[in-house]
């Protein structure tokens, strides 16, 4: 029997999943379930590191589960669970806290960005976020972590945590590889920053098509193209970067030519994208509706996922504690 390599990745229950999450990460996750032993977790402990509404959290966790399963994560082919249902993640996090210098945490780009946005609420949890993320990954001794480009720095940090632990206490954690998805960094509909659930610049995967079109219609294109008769430059157009995610090669060539020769207007170009995007999103939205009608299936998948994950997590924590000189039993 060949032992399959292991994958771990996570998503925050911070709002409905968007096409950045999908093309940057989830699409890749679905593909990898064919060849890897895959673990996917809804990272609720990460989501509480910034301001949030406790009354909405349960709903968001539930929706994250529905969205991801509808997007193709089949619980019969991978392990899906809620992070806080496997409390060993926070136990390992503490152990790793004690081998990580503080200076490195405050230099993390995501910490700097989020603490800038959350000036009134920069918690120790936000600072320690990358250590918890390292624990999420190392607890399953994952060989690789499929993520969008925004997570590459945290993955490098995870490898350093593993090296530091191994150097001090003995070889124990493998250093996980980073696997970047096809849409490494999908920009928001504003064209100004990364598409994000919390920045309100996203196209939701299960969003109503009419609402998606209402966002696309006024969205910025190549700003140098003021009139339809002006030739445009696809490389300066945010909508063209979206085309690359869903539009077949032949049509891409027609768009490049049509835009450069002013043969196609921006609105028509957006319509083509919208049609192609719907081919990906419509089936996900339909599966999402079917799943909503079968909540017990999803609940059971999450329960079973946590059971399976916990068995491995407990084993790793025992091993790490023993190496650190902590006794687990007298
Ligand atoms: N815009 C993006 N382009 C490519 N990949 C992306 N990912 C997120 N945004 C993009 C990838 O999606 C996975 C899950 O992300 P997450 O929910 O854990 O957190 P995030 O990266 O912080 O995503 P958001 O939408 O920006 O969430 P909020 O607004 O709550 O912080 C990750 O693999 C990520 O790389």
Which domains does the chain carry?
6-186+295-323 (3.40.50.620), 209-288 (1.10.240.10)
> What does the alpha-carbon distance between residue 184 and residue 20 come to, in Å, rounded to a whole number?
8
From the CA of 262, how far away is ligand 1's center (Å)? 35
Residue appearing with tokens 């032949």:
250
In whole angstroms, give the CA distance from residue 162 to residue 103.
Answer: 17
**Whose Cα sits closest to atom 25 in ligand 1?**
196
Going from the Cα of 240 to the center of ligand 1, the distance in angstroms, rounded, reads 21
Instruction: Give the pLDDT confidence score for residue 119 in this predicted structure.
Output: 85
Per-residue burial over 140-165, b = 16 or more CB atoms within 10 Å of its CB, e = otherwise: bbbbbbbbbebbbbbbebbbbbbebb
> From the candidates 194, 215, 271, 308, which is the catalytic residue?
194
Atom 13 of ligand 1, nearest CA residue: 21
Say what the pLDDT of residue 328 is.
66
Task: Give the Cα separation of 66 and 325 in Å (integer).
Answer: 42
Instruction: Read off φ and ψ for residue 48, nearest 5 degrees.
Output: -95, 10
CA dihedral 183, 189, 191, 193 (to 10 degrees): -70
Report residues of the chain scoring pLDDT below 50. Answer: none
Token couple for 259:
């835009």
Please state the length of the chain: 330
Which residues are 194's β-sheet partners? Answer: 187
Kindly state the tokens that stand for 139. 């607890």
Ligand 1 centre and the CA of 261: distance in Å?
36
Rounded Cα distance between 182 and 28, Å, is 8
Q: The whole model's pTM is what?
A: 0.94
Instruction: Give the residue whose CA is nearest to atom 21 of ligand 1.
Output: 150
pLDDT at residue 58, as a whole number: 97
- Distance (angstroms) between ligand 1 centre and the Cα of 226 equals 32
Nearest CA to ligand 1 atom 10: 20
Predicted pLDDT of residue 227: 83
Instruction: Give the pLDDT confidence score for residue 225 in this predicted structure.
Output: 80
Question: How is residue 228 annotated by DSSP?
Answer: T
Q: What is the pLDDT of residue 215?
A: 96
Whether 114 sits among the annotated catalytic residues: the reply is yes
C-alpha span between 33 and 84 (Å, rounded): 23
pLDDT in tens, 68-111: 999 999 999 999 999 999 999 999 999 999 999 999 999 999 99
pLDDT at 77: 97
- Does residue 34 have an active-site annotation? no
Q: Which residues, judged by CB distance below 6 Å to any ligand atom, belong to the binding site of ligand 1? A: 10-12, 14, 20-21, 24-25, 147-148, 150-151, 183, 185-186, 194-198
215 a catalytic residue:
no
- Six-digit token pair at 8? 């771990």
């Amino acid at each position: 029997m060949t032992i399959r390599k292991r994958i771990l990745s996570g998503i925050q229950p911070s709002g409905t999943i968007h096409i950045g999450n999908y093309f940057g990460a989830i699409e890749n996750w679905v593909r990898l379930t064919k060849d890897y032993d895959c673990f996917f977790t809804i990272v609720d402990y990460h989501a509480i590191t910034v301001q949030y509404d406790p009354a909405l959290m349960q709903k968001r966790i539930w929706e994250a589960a529905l969205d991801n399963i509808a997007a193709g994560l089949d619980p019969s082919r991978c392990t899906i669970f809620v992070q806080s249902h496997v409390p060993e993640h926070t136990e390992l996090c503490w152990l790793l806290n004690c081998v990580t210098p503080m200076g490195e945490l405050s230099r993390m780009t995501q910490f700097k960005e989020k603490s800038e946005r959350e000036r009134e609420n920069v918690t120790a949890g936000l600072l320690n976020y990358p250590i918890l993320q390292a624990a999420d990954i190392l607890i399953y001794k994952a060989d690789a972590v499929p993520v969008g480009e925004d997570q590459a720095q945290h993955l490098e940090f995870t490898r350093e945590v593993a090296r530091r632990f191994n150097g001090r206490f003995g070889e124990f954690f493998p250093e996980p590889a980073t696997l970047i998805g096809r849409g490494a960094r999908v920009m928001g509909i504003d064209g100004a920053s990364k598409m994000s659930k919390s920045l309100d610049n996203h196209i939701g995967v299960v969003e109503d098509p009419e609402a998606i079109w209402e966002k696309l219609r006024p969205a910025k294109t190549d700003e140098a193209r003021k009139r339809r008769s002006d030739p445009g430059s696809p490389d300066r157009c945010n909508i063209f970067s979206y085309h690359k995610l869903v539009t077949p090669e032949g049509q891409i060539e027609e768009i490049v030519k049509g835009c450069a020769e002013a043969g196609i207007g921006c609105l028509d170009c957006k319509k083509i994208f919208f049609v192609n995007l719907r081919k990906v999103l419509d089936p996900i939205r339909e599966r999402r509706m079917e799943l909503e009608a079968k909540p017990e299936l999803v609940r059971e998948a999450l329960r079973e996922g946590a059971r399976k994950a916990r068995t491995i997590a407990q084993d790793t924590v025992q091993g790490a504690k023993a190496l650190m000189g902590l006794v687990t039993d007298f």
